[in-house]
Amino acid sequence: MIAIVDYGMGNLGSISNMLKVLNLKSIVTNDRKIIRDSDHIILPGVGSFDKGMSKLNQSGLSELLKELAQNKEIPITGICLGMQLMTKGSEEGNLPGLGLVNATTKHFSKLSYNFQQRIPHMGWNQVELAKRDNYICKGLPEPLKFYFVHSFYVQCELTTDVLMSTYYSDKFTSAFHTSNITGFQFHPEKSHKYGLSLFKNLMLSDHAKY
């Protein structure tokens, strides 16, 4: 069973529908026992960093996610804001993030010295694979495109954690992967065949369980 974490901020229905297409059972929940007993955890999110962290902290879900991430037994995937909440913190707010990955979240204006692109970064954009041999990336259709909506980006401290990158005035990390932790800045659930192929690799690969 895949647990889609419901903390009041996220595109939960679309994610659930995509999993149904792949014949995968999922449940939208904030029940800590159900989340703990799941086979895979998805942390979605749309909105501001501090509001998201406040809701996770108040519900006790932040401590649970940290514990499960440390145990490395259950894969945890963050989408959009969910990916950013996995970092140490964000320029958007003051609260510390979950710290599941060695990364911070920065405003797009910091991406390059002469940043002139529109903010937010919205719409389809091409994604480059940084780790083609990773099970999540194998066999994905190229050129690979995903749908984005965000004003902040994740900067990984270790290049080895970068799974995919995207160019928007300059290159930024559009997906990271380390151990049982994966983050996607784009929305797979809004990315049609590309999202389906990605989720198929992520959820159904022989390597998808830890």
* Residues catalogued as catalytic: 80, 187, 189
Give the C-alpha separation, 9 to 95, whole Å.
Answer: 17
Encoded amino acid at 147, one letter: Y
Which residue ranges form the domains of the chain, and what is each CATH number? 2-204 (3.40.50.880)
Structure tokens at 184: 């996607």
> How would you write the pLDDT of the chain (210 residues) with one tens digit per residue?
999 999 999 879 999 999 999 999 999 999 999 999 999 999 999 999 999 999 999 999 999 999 999 988 899 999 999 999 999 999 999 999 999 999 999 999 989 877 889 999 999 999 999 999 999 999 999 899 999 999 999 999 999 999 999 999 999 999 999 999 999 999 999 999 999 999 999 998 766 553
Give the C-alpha separation, 166 to 20, whole Å.
Answer: 28
pTM of the model: 0.95
